[in-house]
Amino acid sequence: MTSHLQQDQQPARWSPFAEAYEAAFEPLTNAFADAALKALDLAPGGLCLDVGAGTGGAALMAASRGARVIAIDAAEGMIARIRARARDGAKPVWAAAMDAQALALADGACDAALSVFGIILCPDPVRALREMGRVVRPGGPLAVVTWTEPQNYELVSRLIAAVTAVRGTQAPPAEGPAQLRFREEATLRALFGAAEVPLDRIVRIEADLRARSAAWLAEHLAFAPGLAAMLDAQGRDREVVLARFAEDLRRDQGDGPVALRAVAFLALGRAPDQNRTPGL
């Protein structure tokens, strides 16, 4: 059933990466989540749904701002990590393994919802966004964060440059990553239109992936199934590629903390009138 899906679209593959994802990548996703949460303007005590919650960064941020949170992810390992973090911090976060395309929540149960690089990985993102709109009260705010300008995603561009330097020019993949399907504003607008979720505006956001050093980042670079597969594909050159990645980054930014730019779209919409006839 999953053979046609890319690595990052297969939930079971994410569970082993929870620790690395939290350490290396969540600081970047949190920067985008902060912008989304500010736009949602959550009321104290309101119920916020986080779809594709990963290791819980956005959910915990929402809880720290006074919201009650339902965090869902299809990867059991991610949910286990959210539960541990919420318990340790006594945060009002309820975490459950759930398919974003078929939320086990009642119509209008939530006051707001967000998805930070979550539903864009779903095999059927239209259905996932429609589900977000269904479970939020009519008129309630929704926020979706998706990648844009992949050429300005410095982590991947630097990794590709390191591979090319070590192994020579690499053939492009047969298809682009699933998470880049909505990198163009027109495509993102079409997603909302197909899901029948009113779209208010799309905002471009820049943020930095920050790490304590180039060497540390190279050691933690396999923080997602797709990246791990890309590194594994280098075979015996894997460690040489990682060393080249670290050395180039250290040369440019020094021995201390490093920052790699990334760009995303923040799409802000509203849950539709629940009396409409869904276009399934």
pLDDT band for position 277 (cuts 50, 70, 90): very low
What is the model's pLDDT at position 171?
52
Residue 272 has pLDDT above 50, yes or no: yes
Residue 89 has pLDDT above 90, yes or no: no
Closest CA to 150 of 228, 226, 252: 226
User: How many residues are there in the chain?
Assistant: 280
Percent of the chain with pLDDT over 90: 89
| Cα 127 to chain centroid, rounded | 17
What is the model's pLDDT at position 278?
46
Instruction: Find tokens 């790490």 and name the residue.
Output: 211
Residue 27 has pLDDT above 80, yes or no: yes
Could you list the beta-strand ranges (E) of 190-232.
199-211
Domain ranges of the chain: 8-270
pLDDT band for position 202 (cuts 50, 70, 90): very high
List, as one string, the DSSP characters of 21-70: IIIIIHHHHHHHHHHHHHHHTPPTT-EEEEES-TTSHHHHHHHHTT-EEE
Mean pLDDT of all residues belonging to the chain: 93
What is the model's pLDDT at position 279?
43
Q: Is the pTM of this model over 0.85?
A: yes
Q: Which fold has domain 8-270?
A: Rossmann fold (3.40.50)
What is the model's pLDDT at position 25?
97
| Cα 3 to chain centroid, rounded | 22
Residue range 26-50: mean pLDDT, rounded: 97
Please check whether residue 189 is in contact with residue 197, taking contact to mean a CB–CB distance below 8 angstroms.
no
Element containing residue 114 per DSSP (H, E): strand 112-116
Please check whether residue 121 is in contact with residue 8, taking contact to mean a CB–CB distance below 8 angstroms.
yes
pLDDT band for position 88 (cuts 50, 70, 90): confident
* Tens-place pLDDT, residues 103-154: 999 999 999 999 999 999 999 999 999 999 999 999 999 999 999 999 999 9
User: CA-to-CA distance for 51 and 60, rounded, in angstroms?
Assistant: 13
* Tens-place pLDDT, residues 217-243: 999 999 999 999 999 999 999 999 999
Between strands 258-270 and 93-97, the pairing is unpaired
What is the model's pLDDT at position 4?
83
Residue range 243-247: mean pLDDT, rounded: 98
Residue 206 has pLDDT above 90, yes or no: yes
- Residues 156-194: b if buried by 16+ CB within 10 A, e if exposed: bebbeebbeebeeeeeeeeeebbbbbbbeeeebeebbee
What is the model's pLDDT at position 214?
98
